[in-house]
Amino acid sequence: MVDVKISDILDGKAESDVQLKGWVWNIRFGGGIVFIVLRDGTGTIQCIAKKEELGDKFKELENLTRESSIVIRGRAKKDERAPGGYEIHCKDFDIVYVSEEFPIGKKEHGPAFLLDNRHLVLRSPRYAAIMRIKDTILHGAREWFRENGFTEVTPPIISGNSCEGGSTLFELNYFGKKAYLSQSAQLYLEALIFSLGKVYSITPSFRAEKSRTRRHLAEYWHIEAEEPWTTEEENEKIEENLVFHIIRKVLDERKRELSMFRDPSTLERIQKPFPRIKYSEVINTLQKNGYDIKWGDDLGADEEYFISKKFDSPFFIQNFPKEAKAFYMKRLDEKLVKCADMIAPEGYGEMIGGSERETDVDVLIKRLEEQEENIENYKWYLDLRRYGSVSHSGFGLGTERMVWWICKLDHIRDTIPFPRVINRYYP
Ligand code: NSS
């Protein structure tokens, strides 16, 4: 009898006598027959145990509860009527541990209860599918960067300065001095291009977002890249190729999981190049549709939702006014900067923020002063412009924003196993 994973059976790779190790996701008792939905971390499958086949041992199954751990031996059979297209005819089993009554029932629970019991809720096939899609997204990103000459680096998480402005900084007591949790690895990646050329990192980023929204986490996983000798136009092509590769990889590797959330053909239809529109066009469209927004304002969640609904492929919004963006972005003219946000379609919203970086030290100092930053903390960063400065660009992709869109979820907190938001860090 061979040890197999449920996914092997569902993929049609193991139609024979098998041994499965897993947990009881669901159990139903009929006269002389027990239906067990088993899950093992790779999938779920229905196992059928009959009294007429198991004899006296059948009685042991009467004690079985949801989430009990069990080893089941039997025959895997194709059956179109079974969920997943396969089922197991149980010939023998060992109950390893009979679970106490599992607090997550079949009935509806409120969101607070589910979040308090997140460590248990994560066992559901829905969360397993989301986490597996996320695994493919992270793996796909690393694969694309490696194939395209980027080196992975490990920037610090504790920093003495801000990157995206003071309002969302988490402050930390660093041996009696003030430090911050990183909002972005960008400034450190900018230092590393001089040593390595194209670089990228995948790190947690922290934002003290003080409001409850469906798209903000206090801690998220940031995929960031920085490229020397690169203009904003070229930077956008890099972002587009990376995102396209990741989408293809999810379609290749995770179609079964993806089908739990959306029709995969909606992602198959996405083509390069992604549409590109200007910030000014967006403002015009919004004003024509009755939004109370003026040129110069940043786009809020409602405005982004409205624009994003008009697309079924990711797209770029280019050239924001400098007041709406961070200090480091290169000027296009007196008013605009060389930047673009990549927006996820279907009503989701910003997934990537990217830009060409300002190379003029004096402009950087002026912008930092305008934002009331302490220049002392940025001395090291300004040095990067003094010694061998070159045009360069980069971007940050919010991994969870991408999972949120790809899985068409209501709330971003479902994209991360243990979400950190304004009112929660338990469990
Ligand atoms: O603030 S960003 O728009 N840009 C940066 O941090 C740059 N310094 C990145 C770079 O050029 N290296 O954030 C980038 C992305 C943004 O598009 C979102 O997808 C994501 O990071 N992001 C978030 N995801 C989840 N929760 C929160 N609070 C959040 N904030 C940004």
Per-position DSSP letters for 210-252, written without gaps between them: -S--SS--SEEEEEEEEEET--HHHHHHHHHHHHHHHHHHHHH
CA distance 261 to 257: 8
Instruction: Note the pTM of the prediction, 2 decimals.
Output: 0.96
In angstroms, what is the span from residue 352 Cα to ligand 1's centroid?
7
CA distance 345 to 332: 27
Res 363: pLDDT: 95
- From the CA of 217, give the closest atom in ligand 1: 26
- From the CA of 189, give the closest atom in ligand 1: 12
Sheet with 177-181, strands from edge to edge, namely: 158-159, 177-181, 171-174
Res 84: pLDDT: 86
Token pair 């193991």 is at which residue?
14
Q: Where in the chain is the domain with CATH 2.40.50.140?
A: 2-97
- From the CA of 394, give the closest atom in ligand 1: 11
User: Spelled out in words, what is the top-level CATH class assigned to the domain 118-415?
Assistant: alpha beta
**Helix (H) / strand (E) containing 6:** helix 6-10
In angstroms, what is the span from residue 328 Cα to ligand 1's centroid?
14
Token pair 């997204």 is at which residue?
137
- Residues in contact with ligand 1 by the CB-under-6-Å rule are 163-164, 184, 186, 207, 209, 216-217, 220, 222, 224, 350-354, 394-396, 398, 400-401
CA distance 311 to 327: 30
In angstroms, what is the span from residue 257 Cα to ligand 1's centroid?
26
| 350 bridge partner residues | 343
CA distance 89 to 17: 9
3-state DSSP assignment of residue 128: helix
Token pair 């695994």 is at which residue?
135
- From the CA of 186, give the closest atom in ligand 1: 12
Q: Whose CA is nearest to atom 20 of ligand 1?
A: 398
CA distance 285 to 266: 25
CA distance 77 to 91: 13
Q: Fill in the amino acid letter for 57.
A: K
Tens of each residue's pLDDT in the chain, 427 residues: 789 999 999 998 877 899 999 999 999 999 899 999 999 999 999 999 999 999 999 999 999 999 999 999 999 999 988 888 999 999 999 999 999 999 998 778 999 999 999 999 999 999 999 999 999 999 999 999 999 999 999 999 999 999 998 899 999 999 999 999 999 999 999 999 999 999 999 999 999 999 889 999 999 999 999 999 999 999 999 999 999 999 999 999 999 999 999 999 999 999 999 999 999 999 999 999 999 999 999 999 999 999 999 999 999 999 999 999 999 999 999 999 999 999 999 999 999 999 999 999 999 999 999 989 999 999 999 999 999 999 999 999 999 999 999 999 999 999 999 999 999 999 9
Res 43: pLDDT: 92
**Inter-axis angle of helices 186-196 and 379-386, to 10 degrees?**
30
CB of 418 closer than 8 Å to CB of 221: no
Q: Where in the chain is the domain with CATH 3.30.930.10?
A: 118-415
- From the CA of 222, give the closest atom in ligand 1: 21
Q: Whose CA is nearest to atom 9 of ligand 1?
A: 396
Res 75: pLDDT: 95
CB of 33 closer than 8 Å to CB of 48: yes
**Among 200, 203, 207, which is best to mutate for testing ligand 1, by the most ligand atoms less than 8 A from CB?**
207
Domain 2-97: give its CATH code. 2.40.50.140
